[in-house]
Structure formats: C-alpha cells, structure tokens
Amino acid sequence: MKIIGIIGSRRRNTDDDHALIWEAFRQIYEDGDKICSGGCPKGGDRFAEIIAQKIGLTERNGGLIIHRPKSVPSGSPRWTYAKVNYDRNTLIAKDSDIIIACVASDRKGGTEDTIKKSKGKIILV
C-alpha cells in the first residue's frame, strides 16, 4: 500500500489537465493505495477528490487524506496565510510516497514548494 499525493496549480484546472492526472494515476494505482491532497477547490486538489470519488476512496473510509489549510483570522498579515498553506504542503510531502503534480508553466507557488519538500520520492509531472 502506498499513498499517492495529487497536487497542482490552481491555474491548471482544465479537463485536459484532469485527464493527464487521471492517466498518471491509473498507471501507478493499486488496490489498497490511498490518495493525499490539499483540499483546494481548483487544480490538482480538485482532481484528487474527483479521482477518489470515482474509485470509492473517502476521508471516512480512510482512502482519502486531505490536508486543508488551517483557518487564518480575518485581518491577519499576508505572510500568515502563506505560512498555513506552506505548512499544508509540508504535510502532503511527508505523507505521500509518490507525488503526481500538475505544474504551472512558471513553476512557482505551492505546487513547487511541495515538490521541493518531496525530495527522494517519485514525482510524476
């Protein structure tokens, strides 16, 4: 059993992007594997939840692990919001055995942060 992290830029949110993630996932998924992601409503996190639903994995049955960012009080400095998201990326990288990433063309942001924190793990981009 392995945990497959599925991540991606919110700017990569098309049906074509989903198809790419689905194909990479199908190549490595085996019965008993779990999915880990970050709970964003766009991009790779959204694809993770769609794929999990398609194959019957849920948070309730333990097959879907979602590390949602912690709430930030209204009026907090911008860096506070960034920190909770980067902390979430650390958890995804730590929990996942393999990462499937749908990266943005500029290779900046949270997806890249998670990839950097996943050193030594198989990463399919």
**pTM for the whole thing?**
0.91
Domain count, the chain: 1
The whole-angstrom separation of Cα 52 and Cα 61 is 11
What string of H, E and C letters represents the secondary structure of 94-113? HHCCEEEEECCCCCCCHHHH
pLDDT tens digits for range 85-112? 899 999 999 999 999 999 988 888 889 9
The range of the structural domain enclosing residue 13 comes to 3-124
CATH number, domain with residue 90: 3.40.50.450
Residues 41-62: pLDDT tens digits?
A: 999 999 999 999 999 999 999 9
The CB density around residue 65, as the number of other CB atoms within 10 Å, is 21
